[in-house]
């Protein structure tokens, strides 16, 4: 084990794509790593390369986060390992088709991986980091959290959930010294497309971000202290206007009296 003032980052979905690039960037920043995914061979190859390049200590922790026992094992590691200072909740999946095209097992698997797993891991990490007064949680959501009409609502709904979870956790944890960031990528060139039976090349090229650019931008947002980072969004004012409008509704959303428009008689 090498000494690291930055501590250890635990990254889920770390065998390829966004998770593998996070591993590369965080190791080069000086983090030790715990890599979590199902594909032990790919993680070991990544670990060997990064250890050779950076000298960091990198552990491979094979786990299927849709399996309750595996998930419990990773959550316990987050709870008990005081060297861990950063959780990157990246593991996720998409469906071939949507809610009306899939049967229960596929839907349950998506919910287990995209919602249950990051929730329980964020809970374990958040409690541990809160007790120590430091740490960080990065949740990989999606711009589809803002655009449920565009694609499958099960996937976009899972990412909207992660955004909500992140905003709530940030409110609770940031005053106690723990950073929380939701990252909302647009279309990004990773294997998730092929795995879900989609062709990323069917999108106009200008819509698809390279995974290295996505992670570099996301970490830049983390360094800036952003709670919500949207790498493709050039005009930050658009998100600020959206968020301000959302917050402005807050005082009006729970009232004793029904809104007048619902008391009006509807013409037959």
Residues assigned a catalytic role: 155
23 SS3 class? helix
Which distant-in-sequence residues (6+ apart) come within 8 Å of 127 by Cβ? 79
CA distance 12 to 153: 23
Angle value at C-alpha 182, between 50 and 212, nearest 5 degrees? 35
CA distance 244 to 178: 24
Token code pair at residue 46: 């990544």
Token code pair at residue 43: 């993680």
CA distance 163 to 182: 6
20 SS3 class? helix
H helices of 30-116, in order, are 40-54, 68-80, 104-111
């Amino acid at each position: 084990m090498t000494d690291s003032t930055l501590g250890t980052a635990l990254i889920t979905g770390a065998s390829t794509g966004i998770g593998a690039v996070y591993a590369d960037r965080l190791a080069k920043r000086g983090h030790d790593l715990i890599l979590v995914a199902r594909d032990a061979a790919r993680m070991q190859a990544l670990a060997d390369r990064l250890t050779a390049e950076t000298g960091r200590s990198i552990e491979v922790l094979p786990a299927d986060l849709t399996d309750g026992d595996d998930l419990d094992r990773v959550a316990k590691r987050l709870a008990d390992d005081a060297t861990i200072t950063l959780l990157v909740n990246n593991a996720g999946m998409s469906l071939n088709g949507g809610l009306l095209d899939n049967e229960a097992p596929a839907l349950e698997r998506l919910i287990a991986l995209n919602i249950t797993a990051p929730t329980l891991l964020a809970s374990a990490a958040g409690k541990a980091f809160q007790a120590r007064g430091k740490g960080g949680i990065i949740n990989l959501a999606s711009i589809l959290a803002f655009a449920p009409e565009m694609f499958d609502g099960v996937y976009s709904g899972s990412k909207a959930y992660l955004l909500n979870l992140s905003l709530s956790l940030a409110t609770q944890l940031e005053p106690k010294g723990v950073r929380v960031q939701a990252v909302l990528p647009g279309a990004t060139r990773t294997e998730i497309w092929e795995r879900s039976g989609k062709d990323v090349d069917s999108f106009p090229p200008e819509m698809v971000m390279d995974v290295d650019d996505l992670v570099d931008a996301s970490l830049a947002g983390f360094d800036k202290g952003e709670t919500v980072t949207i790498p493709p969004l050039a005009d930050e004012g658009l998100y600020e206007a959206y968020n301000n409008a959302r917050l402005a509704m807050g005082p009006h959303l729970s009232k004793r009296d029904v809104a007048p428009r619902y008391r009006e008689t509807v013409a037959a």
